[in-house]
C-alpha cells in the first residue's frame, strides 16, 4: 500500500492547498529561523564567540544588541543560541533567564522571575534578604556545585533593555554587570534595544561596570533582495508531497514577483518599512485568499492585502459613527477651517451645528443638549478628539478646549464611504462656509 502511494504522488487540490497554508503559516506567523542569518554573518560570529566563552570556558561577558525594530535582533540571538546548544556540553550546563522590560516593570518582579526561571523557589523559601545584591548573590551561589569551575553558566537576556534603565537606582542592571565584571559566577548579560543612545540612560556606576560591547544591526537590505525574500517566503521546498503542484506553485510565485503592479506595491512597503514582520503580515493576507477555486496568489490579492495594510484606521472608525456624531465631526472640521486649527469647545461645535440646522430647517437632526454632550464624549473616548489641557474641576465640560485628531482628507474620504450618508450632510461637509 505504501509503495503504491509513493508511485502516485498526485494529491487532490484541496489537500495541497491545506498543506500549503499550513507550511506558509508556520513560516510566516511563527517566524521560522533561517538556516543561516542573511546579512549579519559578522554579528552572528561575534555573538556566538562571546556566548561560547561563557558557556564553555566560564568567562563572564556583557553585550548590547542595538538596532531598529524588525532589524532581526531577536532572530540573531535565537540563531546564535540554536547553534550554541548544538554542542552537548553547552546543552547540559547553560541556564537561560529571559526578561522583558515591558513585563518586569520593577526589580522586585524581575527578581521573582529570575528565581522562577532558575527553579530556585524552594531554595529561597521564606528567606529575608537585606538587599537586592544579597538576594542575587544567594541565587548565583545556589547554582554552584562546588568550586567556581563547576558553577553553571547563566545567560541573562534583557529584551527592551532601555526600560530596565528606568527602574529605581538601576539596581538590577548594576548587580548583573557587577557580577559579570567581578567574575563571582560565569554569567553573560545580553541586552536588546532599539535606542542608539541607551548608554546615556545608564547611571555612572552602572556604566562603569558594563563592558561597552555593542553589536549594531542596521538594515542594508536592497529592493532586489527584498523581492527575493518575498519569493523565498512564498516558495515551497522540494520535500512537498506533490511535486507537480509544488512546481506549479513556485512558477506562479516567480511570475507574481515579476509583475509590474506587484513590484510597485512591494516598493511602497519597502519604502515605508524594511521590517520583515510587516512583510509577513502582507503575505499572510494574500495567503488567506488562496482556495481550491483559486489555487495561486494573484496580483489582485497582493493589491487588496496592501490596501488592508495601509488602511487608515481612524478614517475607518468614522464609518461606524451615528449621524449626530458625524455632524459634530463636520462642525469641528468647519471650525478648524475658519480658525486655522485653533482649539474649540463643545459650545462652539453646538453653535456651528445649529447654523446648519437653521439653514436646512430639518427637524430630523434636532437633538437635545444631553444627547449632543453624550455624542461629544463618545468621540473623545474614540480618541477622535482630545483635550488640549488636563481637565480641571473648575472648567465646565462644554467649555473644555479640544483638538480634532483627523485631517480634512480623512473626513472627506470617510464621508464618501459612509453607508447611506444623507446628501445634505455631504453638501454641508463640502461647502467652504458652514
Q: Confirm whether 41-216 and 315-430 share one CATH topology.
A: no
The pLDDT of residue 64 is 94
Q: Label the pairing between strands 154-159 and 402-404.
A: unpaired
- Three-class SS of residue 8? coil
Select from 3.40.640.10, 3.30.930.10, 3.40.50.300, 1.10.150.20 the CATH code of 41-216: 3.40.50.300
**Structure confidence by residue, pLDDT tens digits, 197-218:** 999 999 999 999 898 899 998 7
Q: Grid coordinates 449632543 are at which residue?
A: 372
Residues facing 214 on adjacent strands: 64
**Structure confidence by residue, pLDDT tens digits, 243-259:** 888 898 999 999 998 98
Under 8 Å between Cβ of 149 and 58:
yes
The pLDDT of residue 361 is 62
- Rounded to whole angstroms, the Cα distance separating 5 from 200 reads 64
CATH architecture of 315-430: Orthogonal Bundle (1.10)
Residues with Cβ within 8 Å of residue 114, at least 6 apart in sequence? 97, 99, 136, 139, 156
99 pLDDT band (50/70/90 cuts)? very high
- Rounded to whole angstroms, the Cα distance separating 328 from 330 reads 5
C-alpha cell belonging to residue 194: 532599539
Query: Whole-prediction pTM value?
Result: 0.66
Calculate the alpha carbon distances from 420 to 329, 332, 415, 416 in Å: 17, 21, 10, 10
C-alpha 405 chain-centroid distance: 23
C-alpha cell belonging to residue 368: 437635545
- Three-class SS of residue 79? helix
Task: Give the least confident one: 136-145, 222-231, 260-269, 375-384.
Answer: 136-145
User: Quick one: average pLDDT of 102-112?
Assistant: 89
C-alpha cell belonging to residue 417: 464611504
Residues in the chain: 434
DSSP classification of residue 189: E
**Structure confidence by residue, pLDDT tens digits, 109-168:** 988 898 888 888 777 776 767 777 788 778 877 766 544 456 788 899 999 999 999 988
Answer whether residue 68 shows pLDDT above 50.
yes
- Rounded to whole angstroms, the Cα distance separating 287 from 24 reads 8
Short-list 308, 313, 254, CA closest to 286 = 308
Short-list 122, 112, 113, 171, CA closest to 142 = 122
The domain spans of the chain are 2-29+221-309, 41-216, 315-430
DSSP classification of residue 72: S
How many Cβ atoms are within 10 Å of 30's Cβ, its own excluded? 9
- Three-class SS of residue 198? helix
C-alpha cell belonging to residue 371: 444627547
Higher model confidence: residue 37 or residue 195?
A: 195
Amino acid at each position: 500500500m505504501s509503495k503504491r502511494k509513493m508511485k502516485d504522488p498526485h494529491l487532490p487540490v484541496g489537500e495541497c492547498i491545506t498543506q500549503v497554508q499550513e507550511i506558509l503559516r508556520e513560516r510566516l506567523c511563527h517566524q521560522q529561523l533561517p538556516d543561516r542569518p542573511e546579512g549579519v554573518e559578522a554579528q552572528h560570529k561575534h555573538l556566538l564567540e562571546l556566548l561560547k566563552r561563557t558557556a564553555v570556558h566560564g568567562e563572564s561577558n556583557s553585550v548590547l544588541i542595538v538596532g531598529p525594530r524588525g532589524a532581526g535582533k531577536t532572530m540573531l540571538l535565537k540563531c546564535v543560541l540554536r547553534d550554541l546548544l548544538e554542542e552537548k556540553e553547552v546543552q547540559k550546563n547553560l541556564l537561560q533567564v529571559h526578561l522583558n522590560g515591558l513585563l518586569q516593570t520593577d526589580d522586585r518582579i524581575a527578581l521573582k522571575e529570575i528565581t522562577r526561571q532558575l527553579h530556585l523557589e524552594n531554595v529561597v523559601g521564606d528567606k529575608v534578604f537585606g538587599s537586592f545584591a544579597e538576594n542575587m548573590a544567594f541565587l548565583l551561589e545556589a547554582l554552584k556545585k562546588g568550586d567556581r569551575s563547576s558553577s553553571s553558566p547563566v545567560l541573562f537576556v534583557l529584551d527592551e533593555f532601555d526600560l530596565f534603565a528606568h527602574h529605581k537606582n538601576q539596581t538590577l542592571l548594576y548587580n548583573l554587570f557587577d557580577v559579570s565584571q567581578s567574575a563571582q559566577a560565569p554569567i553573560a548579560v545580553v541586552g536588546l534595544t532599539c535606542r542608539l543612545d541607551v548608554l546615556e540612560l545608564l547611571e555612572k556606576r552602572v556604566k562603569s561596570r558594563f563592558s561597552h560591547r555593542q553589536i549594531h544591526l542596521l538594515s542594508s537590505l536592497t529592493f532586489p533582495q527584498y523581492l527575493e525574500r518575498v519569493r523565498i517566503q512564498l516558495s515551497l521546498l522540494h520535500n512537498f508531497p506533490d511535486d507537480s503542484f509544488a512546481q506549479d506553485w513556485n512558477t506562479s510565485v516567480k511570475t507574481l514577483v515579476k509583475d509590474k503592479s506587484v513590484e510597485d506595491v512591494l516598493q511602497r512597503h519597502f519604502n515605508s518599512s524594511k521590517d520583515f514582520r510587516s512583510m509577513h503580515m502582507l503575505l499572510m493576507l494574500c495567503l488567506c485568499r488562496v482556495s481550491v477555486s483559486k489555487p495561486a496568489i494573484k496580483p489582485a490579492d497582493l493589491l487588496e492585502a496592501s490596501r488592508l495594510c495601509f488602511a487608515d484606521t481612524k478614517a475607518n472608525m468614522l464609518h461606524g459613527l451615528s449621524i449626530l456624531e458625524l455632524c459634530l465631526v463636520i462642525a469641528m472640521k468647519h471650525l478648524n477651517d475658519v480658525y486655522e486649527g485653533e482649539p474649540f469647545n463643545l459650545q462652539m461645535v453646538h453653535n456651528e451645528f445649529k447654523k446648519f440646522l437653521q439653514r436646512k430647517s430639518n427637524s430630523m437632526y434636532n437633538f437635545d443638549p444631553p444627547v449632543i454632550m453624550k455624542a461629544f464624549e463618545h468621540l473623545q473616548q474614540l480618541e477622535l478628539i482630545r483635550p488640549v489641557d488636563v481637565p480641571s474641576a473648575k472648567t465646565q465640560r462644554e467649555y473644555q478646549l479640544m483638538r480634532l485628531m483627523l485631517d480634512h482628507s480623512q473626513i472627506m474620504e470617510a464621508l464618501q464611504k459612509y453607508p447611506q450618508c444623507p446628501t445634505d450632510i455631504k453638501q454641508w461637509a463640502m461647502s467652504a462656509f458652514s
